[in-house]
Chain A
């Protein structure tokens, strides 16, 4: 179980949060990039054994969306939450 440091509510239990997916590349403008780049954006996510930036949503709390850096092997939260990775 993770103890997630919500920027507003401080340390709260993981069960109060909803996982929002890993943070991939910034959303490109679909009219400006090639089909390949667009599909890449839609399907590829970082999948490292180690630190990954991901979004969480304090759905059963203050409703804040934020980003944490978490190790996928140890589950340690390595950086305090932020709005951008």
Chain B
């Protein structure tokens, strides 16, 4: 792997940037691999990387229907945080945040990780009590959460001029999560892909998997793709919203439903907000990107959806709520809008496990899976390589639903 540095940039500038090595190869598809990973998104690529890096399994193919990093890893709002509720979740996300912070160095790819604090704006006392309970759990696992006054909220977010004592929903306080940050989603996908490729992993773009194949004894035996059959004893499904579409071809049903989550971006403006603002009571959150755009996230559509678009009324609700608190944003032009698929479990926690089909692994049910990419990849690789769950993710099992052992987790930015 070519090392990226200031020196290599200078050297390549002298030769007119014509000698850069390709970030990853595009080898022909083989007939057989040790492990196949379906989906070259964040979780798929991270799993491939850690399989090669931590467990020495390099005969891995990552099969992608579209292009690398073009799925949900490009459709989120790049918020990385660990303010979760349950004992099972918090350490997992704490690990993920710490891995993210070291990723630039470890992958030799600039993630532009900006640890910039998240501020929850709170409008009602039950919510505040709930967040303070969350704080007590987070304290145990070395995550940071702290209650602040309304004045401090307004100090941290000067643009927040609405929500005063005379408004319908006055702000009563806030919570500060200092570990939160944003980074660059393309760099996460490309960085993992490049590092995995250097270790021998193959990435195959435009190679849609049409169905899973099972041997006579019921074990997984490979996948059928648009480029022919590929055999493997272990197949990992990391396809986000399409998980059930894929697993149902092997006769496996999973407790997932696919939803569409809204996001949009404003025109670039001068620096106005340097923290991530989360107004979960009103159902929106945003941060300002390095380019100056406000990256705004809203609520999911109410019903199941496989569309990657945005519903006008969801959009209007989100914007209307935002203008209540930030009236100065009224003049902003919005540039782009999009949706992304999520597959949601009954308890809003992920499923990372070998399924009842031997050799078939799923990493699914990610609501806000972007922040979980490093820890998700690491623990999934552990599961695939050793056939035993990593301690950080053992409770995210497929079987927990059989005992109705829910890890109820509404710690998402837009969950009210």
Q: Which residues of A contact B (CB under 8 A)?
A: 1, 13-15, 18-19, 22, 36, 39, 42-45, 47, 49, 52, 54, 70, 72-75
Contacts and interface: CB of A to CB of B under 8 A. Distances in A.
Q: Chain B: interface secondary structure?
A: loop
A55 B401 CA distance: 24
B312 interface: yes
Contact of B256 (A14, A47, A70): A47
Contacts of A75: 305, 307
A74 B313 CA distance: 17
Contacts of A52: 304
B304 A44 contact: no
Contacts of B313: 1, 13-15
Contact of A47 (B302, B304, B401, B404): B304
Given A42-B404, A72-B258, A47 B307 contact: no
Contacts of B401: 39, 43
- Which residue, A52, A54, A72, has most C-beta atoms of chain B within 10 A? A72
B258 A47 contact: yes
Contact of A19 (B253, B256, B302): B302
Nearest to A35: B402
Interface in B388-408: 401-402, 404
B255 A72 contact: no
12 contacts: A1-B311, A14-B313, A22-B257, A42-B346, A45-B255, A47-B258, A49-B242, A49-B245, A52-B304, A72-B258, A72-B304, A73-B306
B144 interface: no
Interface residues of B, number: 22
Interface in B249-297: 253, 255-258
A52 to B, nearest CB: 6
Contact of A45 (B245, B257, B302, B305): B257
Contacts of A74: 307
Given A39-B401, A43-B401, A72-B258, A18 B306 contact: no
- Which residue, A13, A14, A18, A19, has most C-beta atoms of chain B within 10 A? A14
A36 B255 contact: no
B319 to A, nearest CB: 14
A73 B307 contact: yes
A2 to B, nearest CB: 8
Nearest to A71: B306
Given A22-B304, A75-B305, A75-B307, A47 B244 contact: yes
A47 B247 CA distance: 11
B6 interface: no
Contacts of B258: 47, 72
Given A22-B304, A49-B245, 10 more contacts: A13-B313, A22-B257, A43-B255, A44-B253, A49-B242, A49-B306, A54-B304, A70-B303, A72-B307, A73-B306
Contacts of A18: 302
